[in-house]
Amino acid sequence: MEQNVNKLIIEVRAGAGGDEASIFAGNLVHMYQRYAIKKGWRFTELDSNQTTLDGYKSFMGRIEGQGVYTLLKQESGVHRVQRIPKTEKGGRIHTSTASVAILPVVDEREVAINPSDLEISFFRASGPGGQNVNKVETAVRIVHKPTGVVVASQSERSQNANKENAMGVLRSRIFEAMREQQVASMSALRKEQIGSNERSEKIRTYNFPEDRITDHRSNTKAHNIEKVLEGELDILFDKMNKQK
């Protein structure tokens, strides 16, 4: 089986830390979106559960561009932040997490999905997109009954476009499970990739008081957190590549 290295599905979910975790998840979404713009890639939101203060409980999108999957697949895992939250009145440093999952986009020929295994429903989109999107049931939710995988898409203006997006995400998730020979247990696959979202299971720490980012897999340290979160990820990536 082969994946398209020029397309990927990105999922970001708030973990431990309450509102601050959602805000941090929003920071990560913004970081990858800005990085995509700098690289000349296309960044598309597919589905999200947004909170106040520009945060996300969950976010799902698609990124398309030359070599995007090869470069960003290393981002899968739990990201940890240490800082004084906007919501903290006492000036205490909090530790919160968000998980990132990077899934390859695969061709229909790579993953055969039986239509009878799908439960498809439509609903009104809650996000941006104009009056038509919010008044008509254009959003799509698909349940893959054999694995229990649930996907949704509401960013497009038509049912067909959202269904196509959702099917693409579904194929990506099943492809990952097949590659790991875990089709029977998608939850095990996702736990293997992003952990249980606990503070101790982290691939990277963003320490604001010390203005330091630590990538725990490569034992790489970098500074300029604010710049990195504004999309200057190459500050970190260049150092990580030198460690290899």
pTM score of the predicted model: 0.77
Q: Average pLDDT, stretch 93-101?
A: 94
Q: Is beta strand 149-153 parallel, antiparallel or unpaired with respect to 204-207?
A: unpaired
- Which residue in the block uniquely carries the two structure tokens 């309450």? 18
Percent of the chain with pLDDT over 90: 48
Q: What is the pLDDT of residues 4-42, one digit of tens each?
A: 689 999 999 999 888 999 999 999 999 999 999 999 999
Domains annotated for the chain, with CATH where assigned, are 4-106+189-243 (3.30.70.1660), 115-186 (3.30.160.20)
Strand partners, 204: 79, 215
Q: Is the dihedral of CA 174, 177, 183, 187 positive or negative?
A: negative
> In the chain, what's the furthest Cα-to-Cα distance?
56
Q: Average pLDDT, stretch 168-186?
A: 70
Q: Are 157 and 133 in contact (CB under 8 A)?
A: yes
